[in-house]
A and B are shown apart, each in its own frame.
Chain A
């Protein structure tokens, strides 16, 4: 269903669709994979020039004062076109910095982010764990400011110039900027051509001026950061699933077997309808939770639900897409497999279906006092 958008939002969505179509697509993804690039620098430059990061930053902090909902209009298109750009990562950082109370420190860094002085991506402990568990991966000494430990599964870690590190395991959480030069980075390629990095911090001295928040504020900001990443991935998955679904519809309308298009067979029709319905529900859910996020309503269970469902559905839709393509879907040559692989990566990124279903269960039943 159409979103109910303002005129400005409709215009933005149309512009985003055009930009992503111009810079993305399966052909582009193949080229990047061949070049072993984990970021599309050209597309990223276009995104930066279009100033999409500014959507999530208030006017008085140098942004456009829109919100995560508006950013999502672009993210859905990025997902649709398999764009390999750190849009949700950089935007989540920008949004988080803009909400920090210590304006002097955060503003300086935020200005750099908005001026494109370098790529700053989030490195959150939560992303490398199962939600609910609290195994510490990082150790920060508040007195000396020395950081030790590691964070796994950092997206665009290899392309980053600096990291916004969220240390949540400590009794006094910390949110700090750590330059790339202080971090040992080990990067591995994902099935879709993207990469994820393991960051190791060995006696890293975090400069006082780079500590953005500590204590309760750091936790609040880290939660917001993580939620934006989850919702960003959810809406990218909506776009991706919709694109894979459209490609599949075109295919089953053309492909002939038994003397008729296979799309005339009811079993395939119903499978396609179920995919359509799931995508529709996820689009409504993601944008609704994004609107709540923008309204500063804190609904961790809803965010978990949105990511859990987006992950499940995108995998189901792309798997069905492969099946409906038959043998050609199993080839390297055909593009549909690229969507499946990207769905796998985005589904797992920032927590998969089961992790977030567990988190949802924990959050909703715990509140009920009914947990064993």
Chain B
């Protein structure tokens, strides 16, 4: 979108050093020359198969895994460079690659995997040939993840897995699933009886069904697992160590999923739509917009501050949950303002053309409902801060 404002909320507090600036310019030029235009500013979901060519291009340029160490095919980039890549990709409304392989299981395999697991799984994550999904949640285990009941029983050199996984993003497109399964039903506390298995979704006994979201697309799926045989070498980390393995993730991946850019883009859309619909002349709208921009400014300051501390290895335990809570809730409020801005056009099922942009305000708002629930609801994040940071009693 053309900038209509001297107030640029997408670059707040960016403080690149000369090397960062050069890198940013290089990324920007390359994206302009290489990004398929049909992927930009889409109001509908882009499923993994359609994203593969773009993933491949980033891979060939060497930028697909900025946060992975060089020895495993990553860039070994600084956190600032990682953030720059994300910012420059999202700046033009282009999709960032799905995180399940690159940001979730990839780093876990690098961290806890055997040499064989690394050699087998890391290269196809980088190239994008293999799509991964995360098998954590179940019908009865959402926020209370440790109560999961999908069972894996050792039978010779295989685990036999029985259970039902749900809410797995891209489950119906994925080739592999990394799953938390119960390997010791008697263990106390319950999370001490959980292991992490890498499951080939082509294995016999797996039925995958897509689930339609309120947004209207099939983002996630459920998987029924009946006597699925998983070779022992697909255990990641030690037996009953799954909880520990999974929890090593939290941290720097929040810098992309929780980037203030998400809310900034929505607020800019809201402002531009409001200009066209006339909503911008309403005092109430202007007051709400200002309040949200002020919160975004504060969050941007926090975000850069957190990145600097993270770079200095001094980030506090509260950082990841704070970014998750504030980034998610701010994005939601911004998306609600976009629907307000669109007035009567905000409730239409289909896309609307505003100026030279196609926007679906309702879909944007539905999309943002996901972010305060997925990968640990904001209420759970608040519990984490209450107990681990503020020291409040149980």
Contact = CB atoms under 8 A, between A and B. Distances in A.
12 contacts: A2-B309, A4-B305, A249-B392, A260-B393, A264-B394, A270-B382, A280-B322, A281-B298, A281-B301, A288-B304, A365-B280, A365-B290
Interface stretch (B4-12, B61-69, B71-79, B107-115): B4-12
B290 A249 contact: no
Contact of B391 (A249, A282, A360): A249
Interface string A226-263: 00000000000000000000000100110000001101
Contacts of A281: 295, 298-299, 301-302, 326
A282 B383 CA distance: 21
Given A1-B316, A1-B319, A365-B286, A282 B298 contact: yes
A269 B394 CA distance: 10
Contact of A272 (B13, B280, B281, B390): B390
Interface of A is mostly: helix
| Top 9 A-B residue pairs of the complex, sorted by shortest distance between their CB atoms | A361-B290, A269-B386, A368-B5, A367-B6, A364-B7, A285-B301, A281-B298, A284-B302, A288-B301
A285 B302 contact: yes
Contacts of A184: none
B316 A273 contact: no
Interface string B272-316: 000100001100001101110111011101101110110010111
A2 B316 contact: yes
B226 interface: no
B29 interface: no
Given A357-B287, A370-B271, A285 B298 contact: yes
Contact of A269 (B299, B325, B383): B383
Nearest to A272: B390
Contact of B322 (A260, A261, A277, A288): A277
Contact of A357 (B291, B312, B322, B387): B291
B298 A284 contact: yes
A280 B302 contact: yes
Interface of B is mostly: helix
B54 to A, nearest CB: 33
A122 to B, nearest CB: 25
A372 interface: yes
A309 B391 CA distance: 26
B392 A302 contact: no
Interface of B: 4-7, 13, 271, 275, 280-281, 286-287, 289-291, 293-295, 297-299, 301-302, 304-306, 308-309, 312, 314-316, 318-319, 322, 325-326, 379, 382-383, 385-387, 389-394
Given A276-B318, A368-B4, A1 B392 contact: no
A308 interface: yes
A138 interface: no
Given A2-B316, A249-B390, A252-B392, A367 B294 contact: no
A364 B393 contact: no
A277 B323 CA distance: 10
B294 A357 contact: yes
B379 A270 contact: yes
Nearest to B295: A309
A358 B290 contact: yes
A301 interface: yes
A344 interface: no
Nearest to B326: A277
Contact of A277 (B7, B309, B325): B325
